[in-house]
Structure 1
């Protein structure tokens, strides 16, 4: 089977961060290639490099036997359809108007536009505005735009993202029909169960590196299930099993064992510390009913508290006071600053009031003398206006 997409040591770096590293991709012609990997593994970056949307740091891309460069990009993209990240389209226009824009930009005829619309089964939805489309309808409209030029290679970046079960099933049928029509489909996803139902060839990407590439049968034959053994001493069991088998310590079990051993040592050390603090009882403490340093410290603190409380009560009592325990009233001392504030506040208030009255009188006389009758009349009381 011939290869329609091939890469040689393809890499992409942003500063010191490597997104894709030494990727050797092989996409067979006429197949549905499932490009798998977790979020952030470099799937979208790889697809953008295949379409020459971003330039690779190192490596080479070949599409249909020809290198994809800036000089050959225009001719190569005429045979490639793509839908990267989000479906295109103007929301204020209808689906038919958006397809007419694609027709004018690419110089296509009506038969090609009608074939693309019929392929995604959107004949009855083309007179609606795109902003009123559901996410599945927007995805199908984007695929129709990619299929309008009748490409040999279709690159789709997570086309089932955000679709409901009915939309996912429609997308599966669409990909199968396109593959049966001779179109090579490269579709990315982070769900193995979803790609496994449609893809014939799988490529798994992790951390920017290709960790597997082949058919579904080759994947399941290479993957052998692990047997997890849980025991009280994982390190000793690992030492015994590693002599004849390929065994390793699981991280979760290792951390659990470390937590349990740490907790056991912590409990033992706490018991030893408590035993050391208690110590042998002394005679004086035994007579007083106190045992151990911490209990002795607690008793001393209680005695200090009693003595402090008694001193406060006795200090508040006057020597000449009667035995009834009546407290003596204390005189509050006023500092010179407080005395100045107490005496100066009324004087300051009086000064402000007198200044306000004088200012009002002066304003009234000055306005009358200058002939500003309208302004001065607003300062005269209503009873005085009649007399004037």
Structure 2
């Protein structure tokens, strides 16, 4: 009992520990959640940028065909609408091309490496694709065609610029198709890498939560449980003797008394008081007095039955509730305990110190309260003290 009591009283209030651990755990999860948010945001941004790039590169194919078609229509019919549509297609084509190479051009201005992949750089600037050069040539040819005076229907076919017609078919169109496919491949790879990072972070978050549950929250719950046990112990047990305190005794005894009344079973109260305890404190000091109380509590417990209730009421006074025990049996139990204490030295240091106890016994009358039965036992204790101490007296 003493070891458990000491363990419990050594437990500190876990409020600061809980606050630190809980805040730290939430901070870790919050940081990982923020990282996940930015990764998801990057995935969405990358998808948006990729969609824009793929869309613009895909438009280049359509615009080349559109510019060729309306340029031919203008040459054959002189339609101003066809000319405007052809010019618009060329302007859009140049704008898309500038947008697709904007990051590349910006990096070169700053003396940095191009952000474009080797495959895209090859498609734009190296043979055989040379998209950058072919777009410039194609735009120039269309513009030249639109600057000429439209021909008559009789000689239209001979005047059509075969160069931009051939470019609009192959290999210019093939190069544009290759660029679109390369943008799509790279976008899938980039998004795939970001999704992999996202999945890794998700796994890390889950593992972090599991590890926190095992190594943070589980010990924290255990510490809270220990602190709760300490509070419960202090609320019910006397800190010096390790026995039930007054409050716990009355709660338990009242409950037992009600049960015994229903069953019509007898019960008794015994009050013990250490003889000449003040002299012990005066002669040996209060530290020795505390040791006497602690050792006496152990001697009393050693003589109890399993269902008996023992408590320290305060000071040097102890109370014993004996269920299913008549006052005759209670007298036998009380005297047995008195003799046992008298025969055993309860303090050993430089010398043995023997103490005696006096006791009062009262029967629990079913028509009376527990307090009244205790008062009768107290009267018996007073009588035992008055008769010379170290004896047990019964009050009916």
TM-score relative to the length of structure 1: 0.21
TM-score scaled by length of structure 2: 0.21
Larger radius of gyration: 2
Q: Whose helix proportion is higher, 1 or 2?
A: 2
